[in-house]
Amino acid sequence: MQTITYLILVPMVYLAYLIFVLGIISRMVKIWRAPVQPTTLQIFPEKKPKWLWALHDSFLLPTVRKHNPVLWFFLMIFHIALLLLIIGHLELFKGFTFFQFWEHEIFLGKGFVGLTMIIALLYLLFRRFASPTRQISIPEDYYLLILIFLTVLFGSQMDWARRWYGYAELSPSDYQTYLTSLLFFRPELPSAVYQTGHSFMLVLHVFFANLFIMFFPFSKIMHSFFSIPMNRLRRG
């Protein structure tokens, strides 16, 4: 059991990030090496400055808001929660204190960010079981949502245990020791991380996160990089 725990918490994490970085670079290079579209693909009427409107379209999803307000609501809270969670994870590296200019406990939102994300994910998943979204969905769409759901669920469990149920054996400082050691390639597993009652949560969280991160570059989640250039094409 300990071997599996170790494999998931150390080598698999490295592997996942290697695949993540190389995968993203290779996909971008492939696209950017293709010939440039020689003519405009703009939609009219135009609004200036075009680049600002393209960013507006990419981040605020105005067309989704107009045509499917419920989807828009869940997409927005999903992405905002995601952003907050990314910040939370970055703060698990010792010395990453940039966001502490506004002093807070690590992982903003007192556990509610994760909960919000879970609700949003359930909505996104269940709506795909209904027509006509079902007919335009492919397996990838479901796998992704389920994978993110599992990752967030186990991640949130740790957060909730600590904050809502007063479970104190596993704390951010343990995570910090672990993650920071990974960053400097001197992997170290504090016993709290893999020998307490809740370590299986962490192991499962990291396991699903690894899968997601490896899958990321080859999935539609690449829209996080591609949406902006595409919206620029539309704005002209």
| Contact residues: another protein, CB under 8 A | 27, 30-32, 34-46, 57-58, 61, 63-64, 67-68, 71, 75, 131-133, 135-141, 143, 218-220, 222-223, 226-227, 229-231, 233-234
Phi-psi region of 186 (alpha: psi -120 to 50; beta: other; left: phi over 0): beta
Does 75 participate in binding ligand HEM (rule CB under 6 A)?
yes
Helix (H) or strand (E) holding 56: helix 50-60
Contacted entry of another protein, ligand HEM, none for residue 145, CB cut-off 5 to 8 Å set by kind: ligand HEM
Does 79 participate in binding ligand HEM (rule CB under 6 A)?
yes
CA distance 82 to 78: 6
Shortest distance, position 134 Cβ to ligand HEM, whole Å? 12
Shortest distance, position 50 Cβ to another protein, whole Å? 12
Q: Kindly indicate which of the ranges 13-21, 90-98, 99-107, 220-228 contains the residues binding ligand HEM, using the contact rule CB under 6 A.
A: 220-228
- Residues with Cβ < 8 Å from 169, sequence gap 6 or more? 192, 196, 197, 198
Shortest distance, position 64 Cβ to another protein, whole Å? 5
Contacted entry of ligand HEM, another protein, none for residue 112, CB cut-off 5 to 8 Å set by kind: none
Q: List the interface residues with ligand HEM, window 130-159 (CB under 6 A).
A: 141, 144-145, 148
Nearest in space to 199 (alpha carbons), one of 145, 150, 165, 161 = 161
Does 56 participate in binding ligand HEM (rule CB under 6 A)?
no
Nearer to ligand HEM, 148 or 179 (CB): 148
Binding mask 82-101 toward ligand HEM (x if CB under 6 A, else -) reads x-------------------
CA distance 23 to 42: 30
**DSSP secondary structure string, 81-109?**
HHHHHHHHHHTTSTT--GGGGS---SSTT
Nearest in space to 148 (alpha carbons), one of 107, 106, 119, 183 = 119
HSE, side-chain direction, 13 A CA sphere, residue 70: 4
Contacted entry of ligand HEM, another protein, none for residue 68, CB cut-off 5 to 8 Å set by kind: another protein
Shortest distance, position 89 Cβ to another protein, whole Å? 23
**DSSP secondary structure string, 16-27?**
HHHHHHHHHHHH
Give me the residues that bind ligand HEM (CB under 6 A), please: 58-59, 61, 75, 79, 82, 124, 141, 144-145, 148, 221, 223-224, 227
